[in-house]
Amino acid sequence: MTTFTPTASEEVQSAVQWALAEDAPLEIVGHGSKRAIGHPVQAAHTLDLSGLTGVTLYEPEELVLSAKAGTPLAEIEAMLAARGQQFAFEPMDYGPLLGQPAGRGTIGGVLAANLSGPRRLKAGAARDHILGISAVSGRGEAFKSGGRVVKNVTGYDLSKGMAGSWGTLAVLTDVTFKVLPAAETETTLAIRGLYDEDAAAAMALAMGCSAEVSSAAHLPENLSSTVADGALAGESATLLRIEGFGPSVAYRIEHLKQLLRNAGRLDEIAENMSRAIWRDIRDCMPFADGTERPVWRISMAPADTHRMVLALRMEMAADAFYDWQGGLVWLRLETDPEADLVRQLVRKFGGGHATLVRANQAWRAALPVFQPQPGPLAALSARLKNEFDPKGILNPGRMAPVERSASVLTSGLTLSASESEGIS
Amino acid sequence: MSGLAMPKPDADTIRRRAEIVADMRIIVPGEGVVDTVNEMRVFESDGLTAYRQLPLVVVLPETVAQVSRILKYCNERNVRVVPRGSGTSLSGGALPLEDAVLLVMSRFNRILEIDYPNRTVVAQPGVTNLGITNAVEGEGFYYAPDPSSQIACSIGGNVAENSGGVHCLKYGLTANNVLGIEMVLMNGDVVRLGGKHLDSEGYDLLGVMTGSEGLLGVVTEVTVRILKKPETARALLIGFPSSEQAGQCVADIIGAGIIPGGMEMMDGPAIRAAEDFVHAGYPLECEALLIVELDGPGVEVDHLIGRVEAIGNRNGATTCRISQSEQERLTFWAGRKAAFPAVGRISPDYYCMDGTIPRKELPKVLHGMRELSEKYGLGVANVFHAGDGNLHPLILYDANIPGELDKAEQFGADILRLCVRVGGVLTGEHGVGVEKRDLMPEMFNQIDLDQQMRVKCAFDPNHLLNPGKVFPQLRRCAELGRMHIHGGKLPFPDIPRF
Ligand SMILES: Cc1cc2nc3c(=O)[nH]c(=O)nc-3n(C[C@H](O)[C@H](O)[C@H](O)COP(=O)(O)OP(=O)(O)OC[C@H]3O[C@@H](n4cnc5c(N)ncnc54)[C@H](O)[C@@H]3O)c2cc1C
């Protein structure tokens, strides 16, 4: 049981090469702030990247920043803020939801978990802002992909390939991200007292107009007190965020108020409070209750999300709120995560994917935490994993249980053969 | 063909041509199989017209099941396949091979679904880029990425090339606007990645597929997000005595927190060629011209126009015009949009390059280009997606003069080497194709290239889909897959640990 704490990329490579030669799998961690997501990893040794730190390049006018993978996200965000810039994709902080302190997490973890926030639809996720990487594959090979410029189609985009791979394909050592100017100001318009269905209609109207709403969410009455120190308590809140230059924000808020004048009571929420609200929605604070009750992060097209939730409630008690511009529904259940039912309903109401981001270890060991894939796609993913980490030494079992990954590979291949048989 | 080595045609496949054609006719009945030299002629090259090659046979499937059967058939019989959309690639991505089926996706030309509440469109891959905007503009929506070829190029080709356009600075490239695809792998498997929701589950294979140049799978359906048209758009036309000043102006605009809808630059030769052609009123004495377009609500646009104008003046602008009408805005753009044909008028042939550089390196790169221009004795005009550092040098040459094409190609390669040397890349949006294939080692070492090829091995282990493109050298997947683990055990590494 060794924990390696490399401080240079070459040391990361030696650690992986050693693990390969010993056939000794590694758990890859940054700050460990998201360690409780995914299947419990089966590895005797740990590769801890929190010592591999440092911003190696920041050119605000070129909108680019490079850092070693273990650099704290908080440190980078402070550095950007000092120059009026930001990661436009608003990487969420899983800490509070998972019973960890807030403000932890490394920049490598941001990409490995493909973090995003309530501006997702407009501004993208980590995958949309990554420009280049250096990494060490499960073969112990140090490689790079991409570069430091925004427009680049030279070869396959392996940088995007690392997004959402949870450390199972390669160990990131360096990342280069695009950064953007932060909005000059923001205001949120809250419609009070709507039920889910009317809220969804108001949201569709607002997002389909030219006011350039950057975030849209709905907190039902029972959850409205859980953000921004209770500032929205009392009634449900349907929230629409407008960001940009002062005169533009004022104009667009007026436009929205006109459009929604019959929707319900409208409250205007000024800059600081608006920021606090969206940070809490980003971090799923409504469910940061200090428990291990199951929480689902469900990615679905927005229009039918409330119908999915309604159908679920016919079967069981569930708390839900909608981060529509994040493309998400967040669900909290009582004890059993009900994985099959949740995923069946997601499929029924238009499709998407559901990740069990919080559950106790027993549930996480027993259930598919990540959305199971159809045969041919599962087989393709398994082949990719096998190309990059043939001995299964990087975070084994994280995205699929150890026993299963082998069977997924074979059953996927047989399934795909028989399915394509059916077509021909 | 100037010295470009393509994979050796497979004699066995060529011998079996008649049989393969007959089998294709069984899979795609009717008009969908083209095998006469005359009819195949139109497919012998794409937008990189210096390279031509007749394919083994042209097949135009109409259904996903047909695509799946064709690929499975070819996979089992070791027959190569080259996918093609509209054939506008500027890097030879859709260049046929003598022993390969050319799989043309143009009959997949229907929009399948428009979903306004979720602001998505599902289209078949042969629908043109502009076709998507046309389908939704009645409701005030549009599809943001706008390559200059948008009337002709297909959305499937856009996915394969991760195409960009002048609006990508603010609204992102194809990769940032595509939500999902359906594709067929070489073994016939039909796979869906993403959908109307965001971010595919599991590995980001959608991200990997976008820009993969037809080497990983054949795209059979695309789901994109659409945006509401901005309320207004206005443009500034700002002229400078030097490209350094124009470059600094661009940096200052972005430094002020302004991300324009579009920000384009032209150099002296490009300004003069365009003005001669379309009479847009460009200032002929300038050495650099910026078009900065601001879009959004009227108040915002007015507010920002003032700020951009001030930044221009601070950087020594000699002219600054602000569009006062939609007509005038379009006139500002007319010259830029016609830059390629305009250059085509002053030179018998031109060769369009596509490197990207860190913006601050612009003066150095333009200077280097002038030196190269003298060295090769060929002229060059530059149009430039200034906001994101994507250069389009147009090298002027005459293909009828023996040796000039070769010279133009060497000049182009030197420009791209220069781009890489200053921290940039070989291609910003046109793709590697065959054109920049042999320059890949300028950017990547063998280990880097091996990782890319391993992706290829996961998708198409027999290298049957679009071989000869992108990779300078093909390595067998079996050989790549071998593990080189140190014979004995490695010593415990000397790394800090707990
Ligand atoms: C005048 C002109 C202007 C241009 N301007 C721009 C510009 O502003 N920005 C820009 O980015 N590009 C530009 N281009 C380049 C070109 O239009 C784009 O690369 C476009 O996306 C190619 O689309 P296509 O349908 O013509 O694809 P093709 O040329 O047919 O094919 C391109 C590549 O995609 C593959 N492919 C095509 N369809 C599929 C499919 N369904 N599945 C899998 N692979 C497929 C092919 O194998 C090939 O490798 C321009 C080209 C021209 C001629």
Q: Which of B303, B356, B450 sits opposite A149 (nearest CB)?
A: B356
ipTM score assigned to the predicted complex: 0.95
pLDDT value for A422: 31
Residues B450, B427 share a domain: no
Q: Is the pLDDT of residue B494 over 80?
A: no
Q: Indicate whether this model's pTM tops 0.90.
A: yes
User: Is the distance from the beta carbon of residue B184 to the nearest atom of ligand 1 less than 6 Å?
Assistant: no
Q: Measuring from atom 49 of ligand 1, which residue has the nearest CA?
A: B93
Residues B423 and B466 reside in one and the same domain: no
Residue A70 lies in a domain: yes
Q: What is the number of helices (H) and of strands (E) in chain A?
A: 14, 18
Virtual torsion, Cα B430, B431, B432, B433, nearest 10 deg:
-90
The average pLDDT across A3-24 equals: 95
For residue range A327-379, list pLDDT tens digits in order: 999 999 999 999 999 999 999 999 999 999 999 999 999 999 999 999 999 99
Across residues A390-400, what is the average pLDDT? 93
pLDDT at B201: 82
Report residue B6 as tokens: 């393509």
Same domain, A333 and A210: no
Q: Is the pLDDT of residue A301 over 80?
A: yes
Chain A hits for B431, Cβ within 8 Å:
153
Ligand 1 touching residue B343 (CB < 6 A):
no
Strand partners, B234: B294
CA-CA distance, A401 to A381, in Å (whole number)? 14
Closest CA to B155 of B126, B122, B119: B126
Q: What residue of A is the nearest CA neighbor of B170?
A: A123
User: Which residue, among B417, B437, B365, B322, has the nearest Cα to B92 in the 3D structure?
Assistant: B437
Per-residue pLDDT tens over the stretch A105-150: 999 999 999 999 999 999 999 999 999 999 999 999 999 999 999 9
CA distance A356 to A364: 8
Is A134 strand, coil or helix?
strand
Q: Is B189 on the interface with A (CB under 8 A)?
A: yes
Domain boundary among B384, B408, B437: B437
Model pLDDT for residues A171-207, shown as the tens digit of each residue: 999 999 999 999 999 999 999 999 999 999 999 999 9
Residues A196 and A177 in one domain: no
Q: Determine the residue of B102, B161, B184 to mutate for testing ligand 1's pocket, defined as the one with the most ligand atoms within 8 A of the Cβ atom.
A: B161
Q: Which of B62, B70, B71, B89 to mutate to test the pocket of ligand 1 (most atoms within 8 A of CB)?
A: B89
The size of the A-B interface in CB pairs under 8 A is 329
Q: Whose CA is nearest to atom 14 of ligand 1?
A: B149
Average model confidence (pLDDT) across chain A = 93
In chain B, which residues have their Cβ closer than 8 Å to the Cβ of A345? Answer: none
And the tokens for A332? Answer: 């909290």
A401 — pLDDT class (breaks 50, 70, 90): low
CATH code of residue B191: 3.30.465.10
For B6-17, the pLDDT digits (tens) are: 999 999 999 999
Q: What is the pLDDT of chain B when averaged over all its residues?
A: 94
Q: B33 and B89 share a domain?
A: yes
Residue owning tokens 């007749």: B54
Query: Which residue from A151, A351, A423 is facing B388, i.e. has the nearest CB?
Result: A151
Residues of chain B found within 8 Å of residue A92, distances taken between Cβ atoms: none
Confidence at residue A396, expressed as pLDDT on a 0 to 100 scale: 93
Q: Say if residue A24 is in the same domain as residue A159.
A: yes
Q: Are residues A161 and A214 in the same domain?
A: no
For residue B487, is it within any domain? no
The residue whose CB lies within 8 Å of the most ligand 1 atoms, and thus the one to mutate among B60, B154, B222, is B154
Residue B161 CB–ligand 1 contact under 6 Å:
yes
For residue range B58-90, what is the model confidence (pLDDT) as tens digits? 999 999 999 999 999 999 999 999 999 999 999
For residue B72, is it within any domain? yes
**Which residue among A141, A155, A370 sits closest to B432, beta carbon to beta carbon?**
A155
In a domain, B1, yes or no: no
Taking Cα atoms as reference points, which of B89, B87, B103 lies closest to residue B20? B103
Ligand 1 within 6 A of CB of B125: yes
> Does some domain include residue B89?
yes
Per-residue pLDDT averaged across A297-321, rounded? 95
Ligand 1 atom at minimum distance from B155 CA: 25
The answer to whether the Cβ–Cβ distance between A165 and B203 falls below 8 Å is yes
Q: Which of B425, B435, B457, B469 to probe by mutation at the A interface, max A CB count within 10 Å?
A: B425
Report d(CA A112, CA A107) in Å as an integer.
Answer: 9
Residue A366 in domain: no
Q: Would the CB of B245 count as within 6 Å of ligand 1? A: no
> What integer is the mean pLDDT of A277-305?
97
Q: Is the pLDDT of residue A227 over 60?
A: yes
For residue A238, is it within any domain?
yes
Q: Write out the H or E segment, with its range, that includes residue A205.
A: helix A196-207
- Interface with chain B: mutation pick from A59, A154, A389, highest number of B CBs within 10 Å: A154
Q: Which residue of A has its CA nearest to B435?
A: A154
pLDDT value of position B482: 85
Q: What is the pLDDT of residues A15-41, one digit of tens each?
A: 999 999 999 999 999 999 999 999 888
Whether B161 has its CB under 8 Å from any CB of chain A: the answer is: yes
Partners of A163 on chain B (C-beta within 8 Å) are: 204, 207
Of A417 and A264, the structure prediction assigns the larger pLDDT to: A264
**Same domain as B359, residue B303:** no
State the pLDDT confidence band at A389, using cuts at 50, 70 and 90: very high
CA distance A414 to chain B (A): 11
> Does any domain span residue B493?
no
- Do A73 and A143 fall within a single domain? yes
**Does some domain include residue B2?**
no
Q: What separation in Å is there between the alpha carbon of B161 and the centre of ligand 1?
A: 6
In chain A, which residue's Cα lies nearest the Cα of B169? A150
Number of Cβ within 10 Å of residue B279's Cβ equals 11
Of the three residues A161, A181, A201, the one that is the final residue of a domain is: A181
What is the residue range of A339's domain? 293-359
Residue A17 sits in a domain whose CATH number is 3.30.465.10
Domain boundary among B104, B124, B153: B104
B-chain CB neighbours of A150 within 8 Å are 356, 388-389
Q: Is the CB of A301 less than 8 angstroms away from the CB of B255? A: no
Residue B349 Cα, ligand 1 centroid: separation in angstroms? 21
Q: Do residue A199 and residue A154 come from a single domain?
A: no
Which CATH number does the domain housing residue B299 bear?
Answer: 3.30.70.2190
| B270 alpha carbon – ligand 1 mean position (Å) | 24
What SS3 class is residue B291? strand
B205 and B116 in a single domain? The answer is yes
Taken in order B309, B315, B320, B325, the sign of the CA dihedral is negative
B218 in helix, strand or coil? Answer: strand
**Do the Cβ atoms of A301 and B490 come within 8 Å?**
no
Asked if the structure places residue A370 within a domain, the reply is no
Q: Which amino acid is at B359?
A: R
B91 touches chain A (CB under 8 A): no
A275 and A155 part of one domain: no
| Distance from C-alpha of B32 to C-alpha of A233, rounded to nearest angstrom | 64
pLDDT of A420: 32
Task: Supply the CATH number for residue B36's domain.
Answer: 3.30.43.10
For the cut 70, the answer to whether the pLDDT of residue B362 exceeds it is yes
Residues in chain B closer than 8 A to A5 (CB atoms): 495-498
CA-to-CA distance for B242 and B254, rounded, in angstroms? 19
**Cα–Cα distance, B290 to B240 (Å, whole number):** 8
Tell me the per-residue pLDDT of A91-102, one tens digit each, with 9 for 90 and over: 999 999 999 999
Please tell me whether residue B300 adopts helix, strand or coil conformation: helix
What does the alpha-carbon distance between residue A277 and residue B357 come to, in Å, rounded to a whole number? Answer: 39
CB A15 within 8 A of CB A35: no
Residues A18 and A138 in one domain: yes
Question: Would B4 be classed as within a structural domain?
Answer: no
Gap between the Cα atoms of B364 and B417, Å rounded: 13
Q: Which of A191-205, A292-306, B468-482 has the lowest mean pLDDT?
A: B468-482
| Residue-level pLDDT at A69 | 98
User: Which residues 262-321 on chain B approach chain A with CB closer than 8 angstroms?
Assistant: 296-300, 303-304
Given a contact cutoff of 8 angstroms between Cβ atoms, the answer to whether A289 and B160 are in contact is no
For residue A381, give the chain B residue with the closest CA.
B203
One domain, residues B32 and B98: yes
Domain residues for the domain of B168 are: 111-228
As for how many domains chain B has, the answer is: 5
Q: Taking CB atoms and an 8 Å limit, are A212 and B481 in contact across chains?
A: no
C-alpha of residue B367 to centroid of ligand 1, in Å: 30
**Ligand 1: does its nearest atom lie under 6 Å from the Cβ of B44?**
no
Shortest-distance atom of ligand 1 to CA B220: 41
For chain A, the C-alpha Rg in angstroms (whole number) is 22
pLDDT of residue A297: 98
pLDDT digits (tens, 9 = 90+) for B160-181: 999 999 999 999 999 999 999 9
With tokens 């005359």, the residue in question is B38
Calpha distance A209→A259 (Å, rounded): 9
CATH of the domain at A222: 3.30.70.2190
Contact (CB<8Å) A155/B120: no
B360 touches chain A (CB under 8 A): yes
When comparing pLDDT for B400 and A414, which is higher? B400
Please name the residue whose Cα sits nearest to atom 16 of ligand 1: B89
> From the list A5, A151, A162, which residue is nearest B497 (CB)?
A5
Given A153, A181, A209, which residue is the final one in a domain? A181
B225-250 burial by CB neighbour count: b if 16+ within 10 A, else e? Answer: bbbbbbbbbbbbbbbbebbbbbbbbb
Residue B489 pLDDT: 63
| Residue A410 pLDDT > 90 | no
Tokens of B308: 């951009």
Instruction: Please indicate, yes or no, whether residues B219 and B238 belong to a single structural domain of this protein.
Output: no
The model's pLDDT over B103-113, given as tens digits with 9 standing for 90+, comes to 999 999 999 99
Asked which of A282, A308, A332 is the last residue of a domain, the reply is A282
Residues B416-466: tens digit of each pLDDT: 999 999 999 999 999 999 999 999 999 999 999 999 999 999 999 999 999
Closest partner CB to B390 (pick from A151, A180, A355): A151
B236 and B189 share one domain = no
Whether residues A55 and A162 share a domain: the answer is yes
Look at chain A and report how many structural domains it folds into. 3
**B246 within domain boundaries:** yes
**A100 and A217 inside one domain:** no
Chain B residues lying within 8 Å of A147, measured CB to CB: 356, 423-425, 443
Closest residue CA from atom 15 of ligand 1: B89
Judged by a CB distance cut-off of 8 A, whether residue B402 touches chain A is no
Closest chain A residue to the Cα of B257, Cα to Cα: A181
Residue B289's pLDDT is what? Answer: 97
For ligand 1, atom 7, name the residue with the nearest CA.
B147
Give the strand order in the sheet containing B288-296.
B319-322, B232-240, B288-296, B262-267, B380-385, B390-397, B349-352
* Same domain, residue pair A146 and A277: no
Q: Which protein residue's CA is at the shortest distance from atom 23 of ligand 1?
A: B157
